[in-house]
A and B are shown apart, each in its own frame.
Chain A
Amino acid sequence: MLVFILRRLVQAVVVMLSVAFIAFMLFQYVGDPVNNLLGQDATEAQRIALRKDLGLDQPFPVQFARFAANAVQGEFGISLRQGRKVSALIVERFPATLELALVAGLIALLLGIPLGVYAALRRGKASAQLLMAGTLFGVSLPNFVIGIVLIWMFAVELKWLPSFGRGDVVSFGAWTSGLLTRDGLLHLVLPAITLSAFQLTLIMRLVRAEMLEVLRTDYIRFARARGLTDRSVYFGHALKNTLVPVITITGLQLGSLIAFAIITEQVFQWPGMGLLFIQAVQFADIPVMAAYLCLISLIFVVINLGVDLLYFAVDPRLRVEGKAH
């Protein structure tokens, strides 16, 4: 067991180190940071002084170690485009993305599970077939097209919902929340639906498949034989056993939601980390790119590690295997 955890930890650290290394290479060698900071007119003496100041005259491993140490403290320098500290920019943008991703995940769960159960129970009926055909569209439609269609329908034609930005927010210290004002909630509707579309279809198909699997098992037949009501069989016995994989997948998908938020944020001009990152990619703003790269990798590595450990806790077979090694 210890071996398993250690191996996973080592893998996670190796991934983070390689990501940090890529970020570092970007940072030090793409474009000359000295030129970027001083401009073209600086004298040679100024350049040498700054080079020394930045530690660029030191050997490579020392520079990397310093970069990694700074990165661990969330220090990535100053954005080339906005002239502000990258850490401050990220802290400012992070709440918007996290709220969007969480609400989208919630929508996907709250709609996906009942719809999946419905599609499984009504298997073969026209309504369920239609629902499954709909999920095919959810999978093949590019995310930004869904967003554009929603904007066109609900913002341009019907004029029901806003489609631009985050609306009014309430701040609590460093955290800003759009969940507490009417305006903020209205602004959240379209982006959250857009972002949830893919996960919604994923969860729905998964729940349907798991549900069909479980309904074939002996204990369900036995529950029916005991004369339990349909309701109790479906929701008390069957659904409960389909939820374990659903919850793990949803947990894993939280990272994807944050990543896919890049596209949604661009469509709706949502002021989150994704929009910050896209602008950084467009303008080759390396410090911001490096910081986003490290942060998102950290999120993914932590989620994956967490899920691995959770599996370990849930599935006793893994523990036995671990001992046999």
Chain B
Amino acid sequence: MAVDANPNPAASVTALRGFFDGDVWHSFRSSPVAIAAAVIALIFFVCALFADVIAPHNPFDLATLELMDSLKPPAWIDGGEPKYLLGTDGQGRDILSALMYGARISLLVGVASVLLSIVIGVGLGLLAGFVGGRTDAFIMRLCDVMLSFPSILVALMISGVGRSLFPNAPDALAFVVLVLAIALTGWVQYARTVRGSTLVERNKEYVQAARVIGVGPLRIMWRHVLPNVMGPVLVLATIQIASAIITEATLSFLGVGVPVTSPSLGTLIRNGNDTLFSGEWWITAWPSLTLVLITLSVNLLGDWLRDALNPRLR
């Protein structure tokens, strides 16, 4: 970010400096919960990111699947094999490898939809706060309406509309619809936060100064106001990643999420759920546990970040 171009560098880097400030680092080191959450989140992120390198098997390579190996329990239980540490599913897929690939898809969808909702939310929030008047009233009414429906319902609706518009959509399009469905439910929080801070910022002297020297409104919004309202957005984004991952998993569990050819954690839980009654608990237990650990650690990190960056709570 071109900080030196900003007329008020002191305020613009406050949020960023907050991260590297001794205070925040100290608060991180002295919070065992934050460290534990960060370590757990990091492990999962690395496993997911490098799934094709780390994973012991390739769960999508049909040639390596052997039906003889199907429904093996985890290695430490009778009948388990050390080759399949966490057991195998009904088609002989190694659960550990499927988990890594699944976590990758879950994280990808989660991060992509959070990025998209940041773009939408921050854009609309800036516009509402900066322009004001009817535009502001319209965007805020829209937010009210969105907030009065639970997000999972809105996501389901959008995914349902997408499905009926493109009944035989290719996988890539299905992903786009899914990311769009989650992003369109998440942008409201950013819009409200950014609008609030923009209302404060737009009356400050540096904005007036920029206006006086003839900087256009779009440029003021982008170069001057935006860097000063991004602090809370970063905190919100951390927490929203967890809820985006949960929404994705829920949609996939309901069978309207990711395409079946690329199973996410939610799909794995859905598949395992069918075999729960015949005693193969491990097929559904491991993806559930992974999902819970990822969302819990990201949530805890988000909570810690919020407290650490907010001096009033310190």
| Interchain CB contact under 8 A, B269 and A284 | no
| Interchain CB contact under 8 A, B145 and A30 | no
Contact flag A30-B273 (CB < 8 Å), given A145-B288, A148-B284, A266-B253: no
The distance in angstroms between the C-alpha atoms of A70 and B289, with both chains bound, is 47
| Interchain CB contact under 8 A, A284 and B281 | no
Q: Mark B258-297, 1 if CB is under 8 A from A, else 0.
A: 0000000000010001001101010011001001100110
Residues of A within 8 A of B157 (CB): 293
| Interchain CB contact under 8 A, B164 and A282 | no
| Interchain CB contact under 8 A, A289 and B292 | no
Instruction: Determine whether B82 belongs to the interface, using a CB cutoff of 8 Å to chain A.
Output: no
Rounded to whole Å, the gap between the CB of A175 and the closest CB of chain B is: 25
Instruction: Determine whether A256 belongs to the interface, using a CB cutoff of 8 Å to chain B.
Output: yes
Instruction: Determine whether A304 belongs to the interface, using a CB cutoff of 8 Å to chain B.
Output: yes
| Interchain CB contact under 8 A, B160 and A142 | no
Instruction: Determine whether A286 belongs to the interface, using a CB cutoff of 8 Å to chain B.
Output: yes
Residues of A within 8 A of B153 (CB): 259, 262, 296
The distance in angstroms between the C-alpha atoms of A70 and B269, with both chains bound, is 41
8 Å CB interface, A150-191 against B: 151-152, 155-156
Partner of B163 from A142, A156, A281 at Cβ < 8 Å: A281
Residue in A277, A281, A293 with the greatest tally of chain B CB atoms within 10 Å: A281
Instruction: Determine whether B149 belongs to the interface, using a CB cutoff of 8 Å to chain A.
Output: yes
A-B contact count (CB 8 A): 100
For the complex, would chain A's binding face be called helix, strand, loop or mixed by DSSP majority?
helix
| Interchain CB contact under 8 A, B288 and A148 | yes
Contact flag A152-B276 (CB < 8 Å), given A145-B269, A145-B288, A263-B152: yes
| Interchain CB contact under 8 A, A143 and B250 | yes
Q: Smallest CB-CB separation from A263: which chain B residue?
A: B250
8 Å CB interface, B221-253 against A: 242, 246, 249-250, 253
Rounded to whole Å, the gap between the CB of A287 and the closest CB of chain B is: 11
Residues of B within 8 A of A136 (CB): 296, 299
| Interchain CB contact under 8 A, B152 and A278 | no
Instruction: Determine whether B159 belongs to the interface, using a CB cutoff of 8 Å to chain A.
Output: yes
Residues of A within 8 A of B284 (CB): 148
| Interchain CB contact under 8 A, B160 and A281 | yes
In the assembled complex, 12 residue pairs joining A and B whose CB atoms fall closer than 8 Å, in A order, are A31-B164, A137-B296, A140-B242, A142-B249, A144-B253, A144-B269, A156-B281, A263-B152, A263-B254, A281-B160, A281-B163, A281-B256
List 6 A-B pairs, minimum CB-CB distance, nearest first. Answer: A281-B160, A284-B164, A259-B153, A259-B150, A30-B164, A145-B288
Binding site for A on B (CB under 8 A): 141, 144-145, 148-150, 152-153, 156-157, 159-161, 163-165, 167, 242, 246, 249-250, 253-256, 269, 273, 276-277, 279, 281, 284-285, 288, 291-292, 295-296, 299
